[in-house]
Amino acid sequence: MRFTGKTALVTGGNSGIGFAAAQLFIADGGRVAITGRDRAKLDNAVAELGENALGIVADLDDPNAIDAMFKQIQDSFGSLDIVFANAGISGPTPLGGTTAAAFEAILRTNLTAVFLTVQGALPLMSEGGSIVLNGSVMRQLGSPGSAAYSATKAGVTGMAKVFASELVGRGIRVNTVIPGGTRTPIWTRGARAGATLDGTEEALSPSIPLGRLATPEEVAKAALFLASDDAAGITAAEIVVDGGTTGAPWGAALYRRKS
């Protein structure tokens, strides 16, 4: 068991990739605090995860809620070995149709809250700790209408490297998992309400060399590797879980020539 005796925080652990990561941490011996804004979803997730899960309602857009979250973790766990800063949102911000508030809402959750989460965790972490951020292939893809989301994910990649260099003296590693399209509720929320995961997969899979979306578990397994001592020699690195989308785009069905 890789995480026996270890404690982890998974932000956004009541859904999607975060929930899959929490399940895997617990299956591998760890105790996990999961957070989310939606109390009902959080309660259901904790019920499914069992006694080694602690549910904390926290809107990470609010710095006071981040402080309160760490107070609760300190009271329950005493210390933290692992942080998976995973919570995030997407949303359209097209040129010509986006307010400052809509743009900044994405920055606040995906960038500022990630910074404050890492900063807030540090007093609870010690030598051997591991921080994993959740980025996105959108850090490098020019997808119309995604300026704020892409900017935040490029920012996550940049911040992770800065964090890694700042924390190396404390023996804390910082790495990033970079998902491509993954089968989670993010594709059916907000502006995409009414869309289905199957419809999304059908639309996107021709541009993915492996021909399908990733599963949340596939992304979570990469995050857990980075979090574990198996990755003890790895910091300031990324693992891309995108079915080849960014590394081998011409292998996708969309581009393959029939010969």
Ligand X SMILES: NC(=O)c1ccc[n+]([C@@H]2O[C@H](COP(=O)([O-])OP(=O)(O)OC[C@H]3O[C@@H](n4cnc5c(N)ncnc54)[C@H](OP(=O)(O)O)[C@@H]3O)[C@@H](O)[C@H]2O)c1
Interface with ligand X (CB under 6 A)? 12, 14-18, 35-38, 41, 58-61, 86-89, 109, 134, 136, 179, 181-182, 184-186, 189
Q: Which two tokens stand for residue 7?
A: 């404690």
User: Active site residue: 19, 70, 149, 187, which one?
Assistant: 149
Residue 81 beta carbon to ligand X: minimum distance, rounded to whole angstroms: 21
What's the min distance (Å) between Cβ of 22 and ligand X?
A: 10
In degrees, to the nearest 5, what angle opens at C-alpha 40 toward C-alphas 37 and 44?
A: 115
According to the 3-state scheme, what is the secondary structure of 158-225?
HHHHHHHHHHHHHCCEEEEEEECCECCHHHHCHHHCCCCHHHHHHHHHHHCCCCCCECHHHHHHHHHH
| Contact of 252 with 210, CB cutoff 8 Å | no
Q: Pick the closer one to ligand X by CB: 109 or 130.
A: 109
Residue closer to ligand X by CB (options 144, 233) is 144
Task: State the nearest-atom distance from the C-beta of 95 to ligand X, in Å.
Answer: 21
Q: Which two tokens stand for residue 159?
A: 């911040």
Name the minimum Å distance from CB 105 to ligand X: 9
User: Would you say 6 or 139 has its CB closer to ligand X?
Assistant: 139
Residues 86, 177 contacting (CB under 8 angstroms): no
Smaller CB separation from ligand X, 148 or 167: 148
Cβ neighbours around 152 below 10 Å, total: 26
Buried b (16+ CB within 10 A) or exposed e, 230-251: ebeebbeebbbbbbbbbeeeeb
Least distance between ligand X and beta carbon 55 (Å): 10
Question: With respect to ligand X, which residue has the nearer C-beta, 14 or 228?
Answer: 14
Is residue 243 within 8 A of residue 208, CB to CB? The reply is yes
Residue 255 is a catalytic residue = no
Quick one: CA torsion of 192, 155, 114, 33, rounded to 10 degrees?
Answer: 70
Crossing angle, helix 16-27 and helix 216-227, to 10 degrees? 50
Indicate which residues carry an active-site annotation: 149
